[in-house]
Chains A and B, each alone.
Chain A
């Protein structure tokens, strides 16, 4: 069974600084996807970044990038130049091919001005 673990319940970062959110996962499959979703107070889940497991290159989306370590089953999210609008709950998630999305418990990110 898939499991996703986020060991940081809460993180804080100063505006314009960089922060890294940790995530580890477990799966028995070779084909899977990994995701980071953001949930602001409005409740709308928003996809931040996606990584296909067969791709060795780390995904990047503007200020967001991941450090994907397949052997270690680690998938951390780095947010550069943090902005006040980045404050939200961040969920790491994995999806085995053709299966359901499994979420971690989430990390609350606070951005200080």
Chain B
């Protein structure tokens, strides 16, 4: 597709289970971002990829959170041993990077809503 694709759209899991959230960015976008948005709140930065490397992962809340990106394309955000406070919408975005005719604009997916019971 032409836009950023995220799956699953909705995920309900039990406390203590592991979950994987997937993001498929716009083709050709080398930068990829993960944000978390709790109900009615702003966007909390989690991690930023440039290609397959993560120059900034300062927003990951704990070592239960990890993310990887392969082939400079698809990214997976993994949350281990989920807790109720992990319940939120996880948004992925991609963009062109400096040197690619940067516009600074991020293109967002529709997010994955995670509910931890």
Q: Report yes or no: B42 in contact with A104, Cβ–Cβ below 8 A.
A: yes
Measured CA separation A33–B96 after assembly (Å): 14
Within 8 A of B (CB), among A78-113: 91, 95, 97-106
How many A-B contacts are there with CB distance less than 8 Å? 46
Determine the interface band of chain B, counting residues with CB < 8 A from chain A.
20 to 34
In the complex, whether B85 has a CB less than 8 A from a CB of chain A is no
Give 15 pairs: A residue, B residue, CB < 8 Å, sorted on A. A33-B104, A42-B110, A43-B89, A43-B110, A43-B111, A45-B93, A47-B105, A50-B104, A52-B104, A91-B42, A97-B98, A97-B102, A103-B43, A103-B45, A104-B42
Q: Beyond the given A43-B111, A97-B102, A103-B43, could you list 16 further A-B residue pairs with CB under 8 A, ordered by the A residue number?
A: A35-B104, A35-B105, A43-B89, A43-B91, A45-B91, A45-B108, A47-B105, A47-B106, A50-B104, A52-B104, A98-B97, A98-B98, A100-B33, A100-B48, A101-B45, A103-B45
Report A-chain residues with C-beta under 8 Å of the C-beta of B45: 100-103
A contact set with B: CB distance below 8 Å? 33, 35, 42-45, 47, 50, 52, 91, 95, 97-106
